[in-house]
Amino acid sequence: MKLHNSLKVWRAKQDITQAELAKAVGLSRQTINSIEKAVFYPSVVSALKLAKHFSTTVEEIFKLEEEK
């Protein structure tokens, strides 16, 4: 299974940079970049912080999909 995310889309909706989002949720800009590129999967706590920041659910940002 693979974890896909729409974090970049959510950032664009608020017109904020990776650095601004990182500061708001207590992560590094590099971590936000790695999550967006699906190089790094966030911890449950980080995923919840991101969802809270955008006033949405974790499931709206992150989707678990089966690999083909």
Is 30 within a domain?
yes
How many domains would you assign to the chain?
1
d(CA 1, CA 34): 18
Confidence of residue 1 (pLDDT cuts 50, 70, 90): confident
Give me 33's structure tokens.
């970049």
Task: Report how far apart, in Å, the C-alpha atoms of 57 and of each of 1, 60, 67 are.
Answer: 20, 5, 23
* pLDDT tens-digit map of 32-61: 999 999 999 999 999 999 999 999 999 999
pTM for the model stands at 0.91
Query: Domain containing 8 — which CATH number?
Result: 1.10.260.40
Domain region containing 8: 2-63
Is 18 within a domain?
yes
Answer yes or no: is pLDDT of 66 > 90: no
Answer yes or no: is pLDDT of 2 > 90: no
Is 34 within a domain?
yes
Is 49 within a domain?
yes
